[in-house]
Structure 1
């Protein structure tokens, strides 16, 4: 961890601890006020509890030009970003991709190229639908390692985080409480339930909360569609392709729509927001990853529409190439924040007992 980022966050946290004006704003402030002094692990935990709604900044009387020059959202965002890079496995990948939108784009292009090559080199024979372009076994050989690797990477990263913040023994009830908070985005409701100030300091809005829910539930529905299709294939001997009104298609269509709309709106909100209240150096990397996630969803929807046309093979390779890039980059990009935030909420539930 970068000592200067932690020291600045510590300075600001100590001032906030003396003031206590923002006590009811979100989960950060009760946790902050429970401490008398802040170890590095305490600051990392507070940073990952923060949802960067910015309400505390606009309510604060000690922001610039006051001599205290408080900007707690930015201080915590910088520590949070650095923690993701520090705990990433391998760490070099976290340092490379968290802030670099160009590298994320390059990996996506490589994913496209790899899938187009696979379609030519591993051409399917006798398959139906998508399997007429790339066989089921070829897809499994490509995507199973790409799915397992990020799970292992994230598990190692979260173990490092758990140890560094000094969390106690894991208890399922704490995770259940954390999932409940994450499911309704409680910390994006604002201190008085009016929403947050992410777009405009004078306007409270639930737009960011709604967009995060669209992305989260859209992703979960898409994942559910893939999981159901896998069960149908291996357990019930019902291989694809599936009809429009089958469960995998209905889940995938709903998830794709939510995810596409959510990513487009999230990019719009980020472009309108004040970059100086977040981790400014990570802005390009965040936009690139949201764009990649949105393209995965949009290209998947395109396959629903054009799956029976001559455009299908090329569109399938673009979609699968983006999916491959998404999975490989997941532990080292903005996607990691969902796992860290759930861990931070679990640790906070542990603190509350």
Structure 2
């Protein structure tokens, strides 16, 4: 990890630890105030607890032009971004995506869509729905490893992260507490529950929190839709296509809508926010991830609405290319931040529990 980022974050954390004005703003500050000195692992943990709401920056009396020149959201964002790249496996791919995220994502979507379009020449002699264009076996052969291998890469990355931050034995209660915090987006509520200042210094809003929740629950609904379809196919012997009132569609359609709208909203407010309060060099990679994730939901909805028309010939390859790109880039894009942040919340829950007992 870059020493410059860690040293600057350490300098600012020490000043914040002496000041303590922002003590109730989010879970970063109770964790920060527990320490007397900050190791590299401590700073990595604090960075991944930070949700970059920026409320502390706008409340701080030591920002520029003060000689302390504090900008804790930026300092932690740079450590956070660097931690994802440092622990990513294979490591070099994360650095590549961070610098050229939009180009890589767009290029992969285009290339894979063309491959899927060409694969339609191998379409089965019979089949219903999308399986009339591409066989079920071919889809499984492509997507099963594309789903499993990135998960294994993330597992290796998280193991490395957990060692760095000094994580101990994981308890179910800590996982549950972390899941509740993530689901409610507690750290985006602001110090007084008025929301955060991500878009504007003087504007407290819950917009970013609600958009994050839309993306989170939209993604989970889409995942549940795919999982339910898998169970119907392999366990109950009920093969696709499924009707509108089937479980895969009842979960997938609202999930796709939430995912699309949430990503559009996050991309919009990201263009309005001050890039100097985050990690400026990672802006392109972050935006690429948001647009890619939103495209997964949008192309899925459009494909479903076009069922039974000739448009499926090109919409199906486009959607499959987008989904496959998302899977392949998951360990190296900002999608990884969800896993790291949950791990940080689990560790914080464990430390809090231990402190309450002692």
What TM-score do you get using the length of structure 1 for normalisation?
0.99
Structure 1 counterpart SS, 2:199: strand
Deviations 1:96-125 (A, max 9, x none): 1134222222222222122122222x3222
- The residue correspondences of 1:35-184 to structure 2 (distance < 5 A) are 35-100=35-100, 101-120=102-121, 122-184=122-184
What TM-score do you get using the length of structure 2 for normalisation?
0.97
Distance across 2 between alignment mates of 1:124 and 1:295 = 28
Q: For the Cα contact (< 8 Å) 1:78–1:278, is it kept in 2?
A: yes
Structure 2 counterpart SS, 1:13: helix
Aligned residue in 1 for 2:229: 229
Q: For the Cα contact (< 8 Å) 2:109–2:318, is it kept in 1?
A: no
Distance across 1 between alignment mates of 2:128 and 2:245 = 18
Gaps of 5+ in 1: none
Distance across 1 between alignment mates of 2:124 and 2:42 = 54
Deviations 1:54-107 (A, max 9, x none): 000000000000000000000000000000001001101111113422222222
Aligned residue in 2 for 1:319: 319
Give, in angstroms, the shift of residue 352 of structure 1.
0.6
Deviations 1:149-175 (A, max 9, x none): 111011110000000011111211111
Give, in angstroms, the shift of residue 350 of structure 1.
1.0
Gaps of 5+ in 2: 354-358
Distance across 2 between alignment mates of 1:30 and 1:201 = 23
Structure 2 counterpart SS, 1:196: coil
Distance across 2 between alignment mates of 1:309 and 1:272 = 39
Distance across 2 between alignment mates of 1:85 and 1:108 = 22
Distance across 2 between alignment mates of 1:284 and 1:103 = 11
Distance across 1 between alignment mates of 2:199 and 2:124 = 49
Higher mean Cα deviation, 93-102 or 142-151? 93-102
The structure 1 segments of at least 4 consecutive aligned residues displaced by more than 4 Å after TM superposition are none
Q: For the Cα contact (< 8 Å) 1:85–1:91, is it kept in 2?
A: yes
Deviations 1:21-60 (A, max 9, x none): 0000000000000000000000000000000000000000
- The residue correspondences of 1:246-285 to structure 2 (distance < 5 A) are 246-285=246-285
Q: For the Cα contact (< 8 Å) 1:104–1:285, is it kept in 2?
A: no
Higher mean Cα deviation, 123-132 or 192-201? 123-132
Higher mean Cα deviation, 288-297 or 321-330? 288-297
Give, in angstroms, the shift of residue 303 of structure 1.
1.5
